[in-house]
Amino acid sequence: MAIKLGPNQYGKAETHVVRVYRDTPRHEIRDLTVGTALRGDFSEAHVRGDQGEVLPTDTQKNTVFSFAKEKGIESPEQFGLALADHFLATSKRADGARIELDEVTWSRIQADGTEHDHAFVQMGGGVRTAVVNVDGRGEDRKAHVVSGIKDLVVLKSTGSEFHGFLKDKYTTLEPTNDRVMATSLIARWRYNTTEGLDWNKTYDVVKAILLEKFATIHSYALQQTLYGMGEAVLEQFPQIDEIKFSAPNKHHFLVDLSPFGVENQNEVFYAADRPYGLIEATVVRDDASDPGSAWHAVPAFV
Ligand X SMILES: O=c1[nH]c(=O)c2[nH]c(=O)[nH]c2[nH]1
221 forms part of the interface with ligand X (CB under 6 A): yes
Q: Rule CB under 6 A: which of 103-142 touch ligand X? A: none
What's the min distance (Å) between Cβ of 167 and ligand X? 11
In eight-state DSSP terms, residue 125 is S
Question: Which of these, 301, 300, 296, lies nearest to 131 by C-alpha position?
Answer: 296
Binding residues for 5-hydroxyisourate: 57, 162, 179, 223, 249
Q: Which is nearer to ligand X, 87 or 162 (CB)?
A: 162
The catalytic residues are 12, 57, 251
Q: Which is nearer to ligand X, 173 or 272 (CB)?
A: 173
Binding residues for O2: 57, 249
**Cα-Cα-Cα-Cα dihedral sign, residues 142, 299, 90, 53:** negative
What's the min distance (Å) between Cβ of 63 and ligand X? 44
Question: Which of these, 298, 99, 89, 52, lies nearest to 188 by C-alpha position?
Answer: 298
What's the min distance (Å) between Cβ of 108 and ligand X? 37
Q: Which is nearer to ligand X, 162 or 191 (CB)?
A: 162
Strand duo 181-191 + 252-254: pairing: unpaired
What's the min distance (Å) between Cβ of 223 and ligand X? 6
222 forms part of the interface with ligand X (CB under 6 A): yes
What's the min distance (Å) between Cβ of 173 and ligand X? 5
Give me the phi and psi of 251, to 5 degrees please.
-65, 135
Q: Which is nearer to ligand X, 67 or 162 (CB)?
A: 162
∠ CA 264-180-274, rounded to 5° = 100
Q: Which is nearer to ligand X, 43 or 249 (CB)?
A: 249
Give me the phi and psi of 37, to 5 degrees please.
-150, 135
- Give the number of residues in contact with ligand X, rule: CB under 6 A: 8
Give the CA radius of gyration of the chain.
23
Q: Would you mind telling me the total number of residues written for the chain in this entry? A: 302
In eight-state DSSP terms, residue 291 is -
Write the DSSP string, 228-269.
Answer: HHHHHHHHH-TTEEEEEEEEEE--EEEP--GGGT---SS--E
The piece of 6-14, 34-42, 98-106, 220-228 that touches ligand X (CB under 6 A) is 220-228
189 forms part of the interface with ligand X (CB under 6 A): no
The piece of 4-12, 16-24, 137-145, 218-226 that touches ligand X (CB under 6 A) is 218-226
Q: Which is nearer to ligand X, 120 or 227 (CB)?
A: 227
Q: Rule CB under 6 A: which of 144-183 touch ligand X? A: 162, 173
What's the min distance (Å) between Cβ of 248 and ligand X? 11
- Give Cβ neighbours of residue 134 (< 8 Å, ≥ 6 apart): 81, 84, 85, 88, 96, 97, 141, 142, 143, 144
Beta strands in the chain, from DSSP E residues, in sequence order: 9-10, 15-21, 28-40, 94-104, 106-111, 114-122, 127-135, 142-156, 181-191, 240-249, 252-254, 269-271, 277-284
CB 142 within 8 A of CB 192: no
Q: Rule CB under 6 A: which of 262-281 touch ligand X? A: 277, 279
Binding residues for urate: 57-58, 162, 179, 223, 249
Residues that bind ligand X (CB under 6 A): 162, 173, 221-223, 249, 277, 279
